[in-house]
Amino acid sequence: MTTRHKNNEMARRIVQIQKGVIGPTPPQSKTFKMKDIGSYAKLPAVYREIAKNYSSPWLLGPPICDEYIALIEHMFTEEEASVVRHLKPFARKTAEEVAAAEHRPAEEVRPILESLTHDKHIILSIGTDDVTRYMILPIVPGTFELVLMRPTKDTLNDWHRKFAELFEELHETGYMVDYLKYPLPSVRYLPIEQSIEGHPQALPVDKLEEILDRFDKFAVGLCQCRMTMEVVGKDCGRPLENCTAFGNVEYVIREGLMRPAEKKEILEIKREAEASGLVTWMFNHDSPTGINGSCSCCGCCCHMMRTISEFSMPSMIAPPHLMPKVDSTKCIYCAKCAQACPMGAFTVDTKNKTRLHKAERCVGCGQCVLVCDKEKAITLEAVPNYKMPPKTMRRLLTKLAPNFIKNTYAGWRAHK
């Protein structure tokens, strides 16, 4: 299958061509100008309080800066901010508890919390109808994804578009790099199906269809990252509807965040995405229970991939099981691999006939294998001592905990 997509001249470029050398663009630097919350004396006190809550290093929070404050002001009305300020990081409170802190009747506070949960999707509710508790989420990952998780573009309104614009301005400051000193391999990328057909070393965890066979409920929606870049006029034009969930998907369907789908449709969506140059991630665990998710990403729009393609920082991406191997006797240094790689892992000098592959940037997706279709100089080879994904989400979180704590400390040190 061949899928064409538009070329947006304003789209981010992750590969550059200079004097015959094709490789990744130079990394960007942090641009935010950190301020003290006292610098915003004219800002209502409830916004200053809520900004301090969301900037907590335990939530991988942004530093106090103009871009961050603008996003917080947009997220909440002053009345909403007055209520939500009582939800501290990791705290789960009932409407009654929030109302008591706010010195207002629960009958007035509960509708505000419910609207923020089910209309704006800024906060999360946990529990039953009898006892519902509310909590705030990190700006990313968490709030960004939930707010912009949409089944169709016609469900976006001006508030969503402004949220996307302000979030992108904040992301481009590079503040997240302060929390990525130590790897947090929470997701992994799957090799493209065509690149591992008949591969003797491919594992079930490498194959999307075999993973999906263990689930019976599926949902699909729009990619929040590419939709954001479309809003700001920097999208790459690749397909949007390929953000998927499987397993316990009732919540995202009930809340109108995704639409129900069948496994056959999900596979077709993923194949179309791969044909357009996108690559598929999964949560880095191998559990057939609960909920799992997958989007199809590009290095130019995906905020997770951009931690590497834009800022060259260790990230949330797990090392791959399969890695490209180049046969130098077949390579003609055409640099198709460098142009196709979504991570900028290849650098090819077409004049001097040299080639470099940076394993630390590679996600093992196999796009380079597909574009090298004539010479067939590239194959995927199993990485020695590959570590299988944890069997459950609980085990994954336990594995991530030490580096999460170290990253939290690093972020605190950088932003204090």
Q: What is the pLDDT of residues 340-395, one digit of tens each?
A: 999 999 999 999 999 999 999 999 999 999 999 999 999 999 999 999 999 999 99
Distance CA 346, CA 172 (A): 24
Start-end of H helices in 76-124:
78-84, 95-102, 106-118
pLDDT of residue 181: 92
Q: What is the pLDDT of residues 223-234, one digit of tens each?
A: 999 999 999 999
pLDDT of residue 198: 85
pLDDT of residue 11: 65
Asked whether the beta carbons of 234 and 11 are under 8 A apart, the reply is yes
Cβ atoms within 10 Å, residue 96: 13
Query: Which residues, including other chains, have CB under 8 Å from residue 158's CB and lie 6 or more apart?
Result: none
pTM over 0.85: yes
pLDDT of residue 14: 86
The edge-to-edge listing of strands for the beta sheet with 279-283 is: 187-190, 279-283, 296-297
Task: Using 70 as the pLDDT threshold, list the residues of the chain that sit under it.
Answer: 1-11
